[in-house]
Amino acid sequence: MPKYSIQAEEQSLFAFLKQAFFKMPSPVRVFAYLVFLFLFTFLTLYEFLGFTYYEGKVIYVSVNQQNPGLGIRDGHPPRGMRVFKGDRDAFVNERGQFVIGIHSMMLPFLTVNFDFDDGSPEGEETVPIPTPIPVVSLFSPNEREIYYVPGNTLREPDDTIRHYFLDRKLAHDALKKSLQKPQPASSTLPATEGPFTPSIVHAAEPAPSGRVYFLALRQLKVSGTDDDTLDVYFDVRVDGLPVRVDRLPTVDSSELSRIKISRDAPFEFSDVSIRIPEGAGQVEIAVFQRRGVFQKDQLVGSLGLQPRNTGIGPVTLSNGSTQLKADFFPPVAIDSASAPARKDSSIVAFGLDIPRQFLSRVKSVQYDLGSGFEEGGNVVKPPRIDRSDHFTFAISIYAAQPISAHVDFDWGGSLDLKAFCDVKTKTPVSVMDHYLLGRAYSSSGLSREAWERALAETSAALQGDATFAPALVLSASTLGNLGRFDEAVAQYRRALQIESDSPTALNGYAWLIADKLPQPTHEQLEDARMRVQQAISLSPDANYYDTLGWTQFKLRDYRDALDALKQAKDKLGDSTSSVWQEINYHMALTYLRLGRTGDAKDAFREVVTYERFPNSKDAYVREAKSQLSTLQARLTPTP
């Protein structure tokens, strides 16, 4: 039999691969060379070229205004957001989406800096996020949602406060806990001040120069084109000047924010509004279709409107094959002014500035005072729209406080407005500025000096507009506090000539007669009762029932007075308003007249209990303590 032998020869792995490589067909070897060259170049130049990219989206987490205190809304971040790493800024579009180049291998996390530049105290913050996968991210950038929770107060173990979260649930939990946690004393004061009840308004950061129209885009439809899908952008001009509109793409917008619409199928807009100054004469909206690299962009259609000649409500603009549906809102602004008050706080008066001719189109107004106020009391709604009050309210704060507003109109449209209420007194310019500053002074300290300042500001407002009913009502109230009763009556009558159905003016006139006038006649008190009853028929407010009860007390109709005061207390409910103290004071005196001593003592104790609140009235407390002492002496048996 033949003999066989096996010989083994050692060979390195590299040699084996080399031998196998050169036995491959030439096309395969060329492809392998290219792959090797690409990897070598990528790893060598990675640090300098930054071939890895990161794509993210920042989501602004806030309280849902439709369900305050319970629901949470995820929305677009405020304007001014900056995303950067080192000295390199990322591109950020209006929806909070950004793309940033990564120039170093940082595993497992890289750090990105965020700065919202929105006036929030947190400012810039560094956030660690998972590192994108090299090479793979060239073709499919990592996508990460980052949740921003403004005003978060929860501290980390290292005593830092985080405002950015990679997990939606953690962000929502942080917002809920922050709202439940009491704010420090240096932030805001939960209690309201004076006889003014806070409220809320809705629009969208009006221009500092005054009121602006809002054209809220709803639907765009394009027909008569050969293309099934159109990539469109917009050119908006007001009186010939270009205007930038949030979330509306322009010729320079990136792929992230483009709008693609289908032929003959309407495109629905989401939260897109064009701000138009009140004095504007012409608005033009041009729609363009993006074409290929070597093709000129095509004008799809040009639409226009004249604000002064356009009716308020739903509007349809059409031109040939282009149709745009929108809501057109009247010129509106939210303004505020502040004045120093007691206990190192400031009184801020704020309100909705809207022309009188459009007030009848307003269905409801609601104000959101922010999370710095006590739970359940940060969102309030006036019971009735009073044109002589112009939606103005006053609150007491210790630090600057953002306030937003929601306005519903009779056709179903609504606006969101925002204002930043500063604690510093500003220089008034407009009629509304003077009026709001006068309102702040009138309730800042309830002193003669404050009332004199309030009267000066209301006089300045009336010099600008002698028919401005809110200033007339405030002027009359201030004159009454200063003891100038004849002038006060005259101002109330002027206000009622302009706004005959104003509950504020009717109640103010009745209160002047019943409470301020030293010796009102029976006829004057009957007139006051008739006026306040008219106010109640228009708006059954607790304050108006209190005025009715006090007027009937002065008329010596004590049983009717007690009925009205009980209704006032029922209407007010659980409240920290100074009206609550006033109602109890009036009820205590009424009980005394009816001989119900025990009920009178209970009511006087309630008046004294309110002493701990900053807007307590010292005169009521002194009188209540004196009456309690007298009643106790009567009930104490003589030894």
At residue 197, the pLDDT reads 29
Domain membership of residue 608 (yes or no) is no
Q: Which of 310, 329, 348 is the last residue before a domain boundary? A: 329
Domain membership of residue 157 (yes or no) is yes
Q: Are both 32 and 77 inside the same structural domain?
A: no
Q: Are both 236 and 172 inside the same structural domain?
A: no
At residue 612, the pLDDT reads 73
At residue 294, the pLDDT reads 65
Tokens coding 478 = 């201030």
Q: What is the mean predicted confidence (pLDDT) over 587-605?
A: 92
Distance of CA 129 to the CA centre of its chain: 31
Q: Is 338 left (phi over 0), alpha (psi -120 to 50) or beta?
A: beta
Query: In this structure, what CATH number is given to the domain that contains residue 276?
Result: 2.60.40.150
Q: What is the mean predicted confidence (pLDDT) over 14-21?
A: 67
Burial 571-596 (b: 16+ CB within 10 A, else e): bbeebbbbbbbbbbbbbbbbbbeeeb
Q: What is the mean predicted confidence (pLDDT) over 138-147?
A: 65
Q: Which of 268, 296, 329 is the last residue before a domain boundary? A: 329
- Residue range of the domain that includes 43: 13-49
Q: If we measure between CA atoms, which residue out of 582, 585, 514 comes closest to residue 554?
A: 514
pLDDT in tens, 146-161: 888 776 766 666 667 7
Is residue 482 scored above 90 in pLDDT?
yes
The amino acid at 108: P
Q: Are both 107 and 88 inside the same structural domain?
A: yes
Q: Is 189 left (phi over 0), alpha (psi -120 to 50) or beta?
A: beta
Is residue 295 scored above 50 in pLDDT?
yes
Q: What domain count does the chain have? A: 3
Does the pTM exceed 0.75? no
At residue 624, the pLDDT reads 87
C-alpha span between 535 and 544 (Å, rounded): 7
Is residue 527 scored above 90 in pLDDT?
yes
Q: Are both 44 and 102 inside the same structural domain?
A: no
Query: In this structure, what CATH number is given to the domain that contains residue 66?
Result: 2.60.40
